[in-house]
């Protein structure tokens, strides 16, 4: 049920920022909402601001694995979660350290939430890099 998704703007790999991707794999059921989110981000911020805020630093989507330290499948295993700018939004960082907790990212989160995606950072104050198209358990 995975499809190749054409990104509305280029993304740089978080582990090798010299590499640029234009397509990613995601679940077919989230591709339309993902397109809406990222198109709205592009329309609001523009490419220059996207790069300045590191909204193009992509940490991954599809990764078939269990949740860290758990037995249930990660939302990444289904291709319904995205990670952005992990270097500035580390897994265990709260709003006191995570870049995405700052006010200049409010519109970023509004774009996701408008399409029904959920931020672990905004809901649970950890893993600010992560956003998913599923309710939080």
- Asked whether residue 73 carries a pLDDT value surpassing 70, the answer given is no
Token output for 90: 């580390």
> Mean pLDDT across the chain, nearest whole number?
91
Q: Is the pTM of this model over 0.85?
A: yes
Q: What does CATH list as the number for 2-132?
A: 3.30.1380
Contacts of 53 (CB under 8 A, 6+ apart): 45, 104, 105, 108
Question: So where are the chain's domains?
Answer: 2-132
CA dihedral sign, ordered 120, 110, 75, 55: negative
Which one is predicted more confidently, 90 or 75? Answer: 90
Under the banding of pLDDT at 50, 70 and 90, the label for residue 39 is very high
Kindly compute the dihedral angle of the four CA atoms of residues 105, 68, 31, 43, in this order, to the nearest 10 degrees: 10
Residue 64 has pLDDT above 60, yes or no: no
């Amino acid at each position: 049920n995975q499809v190749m998704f054409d990104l509305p703007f280029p993304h740089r790999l978080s582990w090798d920022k010299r590499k640029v991707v234009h397509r990613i794999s995601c679940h077919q059921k989230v591709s339309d909402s993902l397109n809406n989110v990222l198109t709205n981000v592009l329309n609001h911020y523009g490419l220059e601001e996207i790069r300045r805020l590191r909204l193009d630093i992509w940490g991954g989507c599809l990764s078939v694995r269990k949740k860290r330290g758990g037995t249930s499948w990660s939302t990444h295993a289904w291709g319904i979660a995205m990670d952005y700018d992990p270097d500035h939004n580390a897994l265990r960082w709260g709003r006191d350290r995570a870049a995405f907790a700052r006010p200049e990212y409010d519109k970023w989160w509004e774009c996701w939430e408008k399409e029904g995606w959920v931020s672990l950072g905004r809901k649970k104050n950890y893993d600010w890099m992560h956003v998913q198209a599923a309710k939080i358990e």
